[in-house]
Structure 1
Amino acid sequence: MPRTAPTGGPTQALADALTAEYAAIWAYGVIGVHLADAARRSARAAEAAHRARRDALILQLSANGGQVPADRAGYALPYPVTDRASALRLAVEIEERAAGHWRAALPHTTGADRNRALAALTDCALRATRWRRTAGVTPVTVAFPGRPG
């Protein structure tokens, strides 16, 4: 799963965020199969949110003539996901990582791009909080979402 800071400029920052969105979508495919009922519905909603951001970023980068990074066939998970507990732990981690990419995009963006990056950071932070609560992790919130720990 990607976890690097953008190397420069708004286009690169948004391309890096797109790569994080690709990874999040892929991860939710693994997460969802280990959850049931409300948690599975939450995973589907999270995946849909990441798909919507991915699609918007692809359109934006394409329209601006930027390089659109390709999605990979798969991503390496940070640990095996074999049950509900590890799926919830991955859900928290994937949201934190995506938040980190959006946070890293903030200093490289202005105007509407900055607003979109801030909205994405906020969405990821809220989902991470919900996943922590579902997993019974405390504290359920972090002081600075997306900040490297």
Structure 2
Amino acid sequence: MSGDVERLGKALAAEHAAVFAYGLIGARTSGTLRTKAARAFDAHRARRDQLRTLITARGGRPAEAEASYSLPLVPSTPADAVRLAVQIETGMTAAYLELVAADDAALRKYAALAMQEAVARSYALRPAVGTAFPGMPGAASPAPSPASPPASPSTPTGG
């Protein structure tokens, strides 16, 4: 099970960094974005605490958080804050991906749910984009108005 403890430790390290980053995001945003950041902060703290318990229960010693973390960017605009949050959630998905290979089926389920939450948070933060599923047609073009004459083919006539 030491492999599982190591995988849990990697997920814990990522959660520590996420808590730090969302604290910064929350301090630099307002309104709806700040509310979403606060919810994400709370969710990552809860996961962090659960991971600490899981590591301890398996005989491991959970790592403490660093005093500070190097972030890919320090948000100065709402768009920067969203970009950072999406990067964090993408990183969380990657951190839990390794835990999906755990020996313990309960840990695999835990990791899958954590990944699902991270992806859902990531997409909830992004601006809505109306793209079609791969292989599906895009948005239909508007139909010509009935008052408009039909376009005439430009086929040469005569012969």
2:23 to 16, 21, 29: 29
Hey, what's the Cα distance between the residues in 2 that align with 1:104 and 1:117?
8
Hey, what's the Cα distance between the residues in 1 that align with 2:130 and 2:15?
26
Hey, what's the Cα distance between the residues in 2 that align with 1:126 and 1:110?
25
Q: Identify the residue that residue 75 of structure 2 maps to in structure 1.
A: 81
Q: For residues 138 and 43 of structure 1, do their structure 2 counterparts lie closer, same or farther at Cα, with a shift above 3 Å needed?
A: farther
Hey, what's the Cα distance between the residues in 1 that align with 2:102 and 2:38?
31
Q: For residues 103 and 138 of structure 1, do their structure 2 counterparts lie closer, same or farther at Cα, with a shift above 3 Å needed?
A: farther
Give 1 or 2: higher helix fraction: 1
Name stretches of at least 5 consecutive residues in structure 2 with no aligned partner.
132-159
The TM-score, its normalising length taken from structure 2, stands at 0.76
Aligned CA RMSD, in angstroms, stands at 1.9
Structure with the greater alpha carbon radius of gyration? 2
CA contact (8 A) 1:106 1:117 kept: yes
Q: Does 1:60 align with 2:54?
A: yes
The TM-score, its normalising length taken from structure 1, stands at 0.81
Provide runs of 4+ in structure 1 moved above 2 Å: 136-139
Aligned residues with identical type, % of pairs: 35
Aligned residues: 131
CA contact (8 A) 2:15 2:92 kept: yes
Q: Does 1:111 align with 2:105?
A: yes
Aligned partner of 1:95: which letter? E
CA contact (8 A) 1:132 1:138 kept: no
After TM superposition, give the deviation of residue 117 of structure 1 in Å. Answer: 0.5
Please list, as runs of the form range in 1=range in 2, the aligned pairs for 1:1-149 lying within 5 A after superposition.
9-133=3-127
Q: Give secondary structure in 2 for the equivalent of 1:130.
A: helix
